């Protein structure tokens, strides 16, 4: 997974919160626990693939909805930077 490259702490927190919501809504934490309990090799591979696909979709959804929200072209004033993070 790619790391988040952002200097605005509030946007990083927003990204992490959105991603956690996606993981929770798709029961990824439950699926991981089920995967840990799986002893059948074929079942493990299938469950892992489903979990990987779900996780990839979650990352893409979060990235799309929390994309670049500012322009690096112009120098911003401190007041404007604070306004972006609220």
* Residue 2 forms part of a structural domain: no
pLDDT for the residue numbered 82: 75
- Work out how many domains the chain is built from and give that number: 1
Report the pLDDT value the prediction gives residue 69, as an integer from 0 to 100.
59
CA distance 15 to 61: 11
The CA distances from residue 6 to 37, 45, 67, 75, in Å, are 37, 35, 10, 16
Residue 24 lies in a domain: yes
Residue 1 resides in a domain: no
Here the tokens at position 63 are 């990235």
- Identify the pLDDT of residue 2: 53
Q: What is the pLDDT at residue 5? A: 60
> Burial, 47: exposed, middle or buried (Cβ in 10 Å; 0-12, 13-18, 19+)?
middle
Local confidence pLDDT in tens for the 86 residues of the chain: 455 566 677 777 888 888 888 888 888 888 888 888 877 777 778 888 888 888 888 888 887 877 665 556 666 677 777 777 76
* Residue range of the domain that includes 32: 9-84
pLDDT at 83: 77
């Amino acid at each position: 997974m790619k790391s988040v490259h952002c200097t605005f702490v509030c946007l990083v927190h927003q990204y992490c919160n959105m991603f956690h919501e996606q993981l929770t809504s798709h029961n990824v934490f439950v699926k991981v626990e089920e995967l840990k309990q799986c002893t059948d090799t074929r079942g493990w591979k299938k469950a892992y693939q489903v979990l990987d696909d779900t996780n990839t979709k979650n990352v893409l959804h979060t990235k799309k909805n929390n994309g670049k929200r500012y322009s690096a072209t112009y120098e911003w004033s401190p007041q404007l930077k604070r306004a972006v993070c609220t």
